[in-house]
């Protein structure tokens, strides 16, 4: 099968899932062509079936804003025709699904099928903005196949956009590099003082991740406990959060690590994973933590309640309830047996329900179904 994949190449769940999917498909012998404005950050291994095509965004004095959607569509047409693609699989509705629709209409490869995977804020946040709503709805309806990463997102899409077409739920999966041996003790030696409890947060530091809440949680936790917080990732709220950290005098207990490739090693060295998001259709970072045997403390936003089983794999607290989050973390600090059993439950649940081989097969089955229509 010849498959094109378009995703955001940046540090975020949709790009990670798309890249890991492409790597698995290539390993199975399919030709996979990534089309984006930069190399996806997890596309870091060579495979003769993997290809990358960079979108050249034209800069011209007449354009106040470079027309990325048109440049992307043009590059898609080129790849579709030159590589004789069977499927163009786009991740994140806007603008990727719109560009794919335009590319399909322009291309002479009329048997091409467009599949759109919805990931979350393309529906729950950006897609609902009046400037984009009608375009998002049209692009979804014009796709030959639609998937969503959770039942919550499927229902939200149907309700918000009145979508009548079938949306298939295919969840995110645990990447292969979270299954092998990790340099746990080596990483711990870099961050951890004896008896120090390690809390880790990973995100793109957008406002909806509520990273400022995490600093307030630490303000309470350090009064009674020896804890260290690892903040992994980068984004628009990082400067604000770092400033608050300095203001409260917490910089000895909080490390900002920026974007990291060795996420699995960091997670395996952690005692708890923290994700207090305001919106989260799935929560890939939480799934990765669970696969590493780390209990999670998450908000009750969207699909997180289906992923993180309250009282079994971790704890769930209301969005913005600092006291509830602190109480949940303190239970895990004070009860080592509970923390261990929750970590074991988390790993078992992640591997039994979200294995890469099983989820990738679901995508392949869906590809075949769409191609047969």
With bands split at pLDDT 50, 70 and 90, how would you rate the model's confidence at 162? confident
Which pLDDT score is estimated for 120?
A: 79
pLDDT average, residue stretch 277-301 = 94
Which pLDDT score is estimated for 218?
A: 97
Which pLDDT score is estimated for 183?
A: 58
Q: Does residue 159 share a domain with residue 42?
A: yes
Secondary structure of residue 68 in the 3-state scheme: helix
Which pLDDT score is estimated for 205?
A: 94
Which pLDDT score is estimated for 355?
A: 94
Which pLDDT score is estimated for 41?
A: 80
Q: Which conformational region is residue 97 in: left (phi greater than 0), alpha (psi within -120 to 50 degrees), or beta?
A: alpha
Give the tens place of pLDDT for each residue, 321-369: 999 999 999 999 999 999 999 999 999 999 999 999 999 999 999 999 9
Instruction: Quote the CA–CA distance of 202 and 189 in Å, as a whole number.
Output: 20
Closest CA to 51 of 90, 5, 87: 5
- How many CB atoms are located within 10 Å of the residue 238 CB? 17
Q: Could you tell me if 34 and 22 are in contact, meaning their C-beta atoms sit under 8 angstroms apart?
A: yes
Q: Could you tell me if 265 and 187 are in contact, meaning their C-beta atoms sit under 8 angstroms apart?
A: yes
| Domain tally, the chain | 2
Looking at residue 219, which CATH number applies to its domain?
A: 3.40.50.2000
Q: Could you tell me if 55 and 72 are in contact, meaning their C-beta atoms sit under 8 angstroms apart?
A: yes
Instruction: Quote the CA–CA distance of 166 and 145 in Å, as a whole number.
Output: 8
pLDDT average, residue stretch 221-230 = 95
pLDDT average, residue stretch 269-296 = 95
Which pLDDT score is estimated for 278?
A: 93
Q: Does residue 261 share a domain with residue 140?
A: no
Q: Could you tell me if 160 and 120 are in contact, meaning their C-beta atoms sit under 8 angstroms apart?
A: no
Q: Could you tell me if 153 and 302 are in contact, meaning their C-beta atoms sit under 8 angstroms apart?
A: yes
Domain span at 147: 2-173+355-371
Mean pLDDT of the chain: 91
Which pLDDT score is estimated for 46?
A: 86
Give the tens place of pLDDT for each residue, 178-213: 776 665 666 666 666 667 899 999 999 999 999 999
Instruction: Quote the CA–CA distance of 11 and 180 in Å, as a whole number.
Output: 22
Q: Which conformational region is residue 279 in: left (phi greater than 0), alpha (psi within -120 to 50 degrees), or beta?
A: beta
Q: Could you tell me if 318 and 301 are in contact, meaning their C-beta atoms sit under 8 angstroms apart?
A: no
**Taking 80 as the threshold, does the pLDDT of residue 174 lie above it?**
yes
Q: Does residue 330 share a domain with residue 185?
A: yes
Q: Does residue 252 share a domain with residue 182?
A: yes
Q: Does residue 208 share a domain with residue 154?
A: no
Q: Does residue 17 share a domain with residue 144?
A: yes
Closest CA to 207 of 259, 278, 258, 275: 278
**Taking 90 as the threshold, does the pLDDT of residue 66 lie above it?**
no
Which pLDDT score is estimated for 182?
A: 60
Which pLDDT score is estimated for 121?
A: 73
Q: Does residue 114 share a domain with residue 55?
A: yes
Range with top average pLDDT, 12-21, 170-179, 296-305: 296-305
Instruction: Give Cα separations from 197 to 48, 175, 270 (angstroms).
Output: 43, 26, 8
Q: Could you tell me if 8 and 36 are in contact, meaning their C-beta atoms sit under 8 angstroms apart?
A: yes
With bands split at pLDDT 50, 70 and 90, how would you rate the model's confidence at 4? very high
Both tokens of 287, joined, read 């799934």
With bands split at pLDDT 50, 70 and 90, how would you rate the model's confidence at 55? very high
Q: Does residue 348 share a domain with residue 338?
A: yes
Give the tens place of pLDDT for each residue, 235-270: 999 999 999 999 999 988 999 999 888 888 999 999
Which pLDDT score is estimated for 130?
A: 76
Instruction: Quote the CA–CA distance of 99 and 69 in Å, as a whole number.
Output: 6
Burial (0-12, 13-18, 19+ Cβ within 10 Å), 72: buried
pLDDT average, residue stretch 44-50 = 90
Dihedral, CA atoms, 156, 306, 279, 99, nearest 10 degrees? -50
């Amino acid at each position: 099968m010849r498959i094109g994949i378009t995703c955001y190449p940046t540090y975020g769940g949709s790009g990670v899932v798309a890249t890991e999917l492409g790597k698995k498909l290539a390993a199975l012998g399919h030709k996979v062509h990534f089309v984006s404005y930069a190399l996806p950050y997890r596309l870091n291994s060579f495979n003769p079936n993997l290809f990358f095509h960079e979108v050249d965004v034209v800069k011209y004095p007449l354009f106040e804003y470079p027309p990325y959607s048109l440049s992307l569509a043009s590059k898609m047409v080129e790849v579709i025709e030159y590589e004789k693609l069977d499927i163009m699989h786009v991740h994140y509705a806007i603008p990727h699904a719109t560009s794919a629709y335009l590319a399909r209409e322009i291309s002479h490869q009329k048997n091409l099928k467009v599949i759109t995977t919805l990931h979350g804020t393309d529906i729950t946040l950006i897609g609902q903005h009046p400037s984009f709503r009608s375009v998002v709805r049209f692009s979804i309806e014009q796709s030959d196949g639609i998937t969503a990463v959770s039942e919550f997102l499927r229902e939200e899409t149907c309700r918000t956009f009145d979508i009548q077409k079938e949306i298939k739920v295919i969840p995110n999966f645990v990447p292969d590099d979270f299954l092998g041996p990790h340099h746990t003790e080596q990483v711990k030696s870099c961050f951890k003082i004896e008896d120090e409890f390690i809390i880790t947060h990973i995100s793109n530091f957008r406002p909806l991740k509520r990273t400022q809440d995490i600093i307030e949680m630490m303000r309470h936790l350090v009064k009674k406990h020896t804890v260290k917080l690892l903040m992994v990732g980068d984004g628009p709220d990082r400067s604000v959060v770092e400033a608050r950290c300095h203001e409260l005098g917490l910089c000895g207990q909080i490390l900002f690590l920026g974007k990291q490739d060795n996420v699995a090693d960091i997670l395996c060295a952690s005692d708890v994973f923290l994700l207090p998001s305001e919106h989260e259709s799935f929560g890939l970072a939480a799934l990765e933590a669970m696969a590493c045997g780390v209990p999670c403390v998450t908000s009750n936003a969207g699909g997180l309640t289906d992923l993180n089983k309250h009282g079994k794999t971790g704890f769930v607290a209301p969005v913005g309830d600092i006291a509830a989050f602190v109480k949940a973390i303190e239970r895990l600090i004070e009860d080592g047996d509970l923390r261990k059993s929750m970590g074991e439950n988390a790993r078992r649940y992640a591997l039994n329900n979200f294995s890469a081989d099983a989820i990738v097969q679901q995508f392949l089955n869906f590809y075949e179904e769409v191609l047969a229509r």
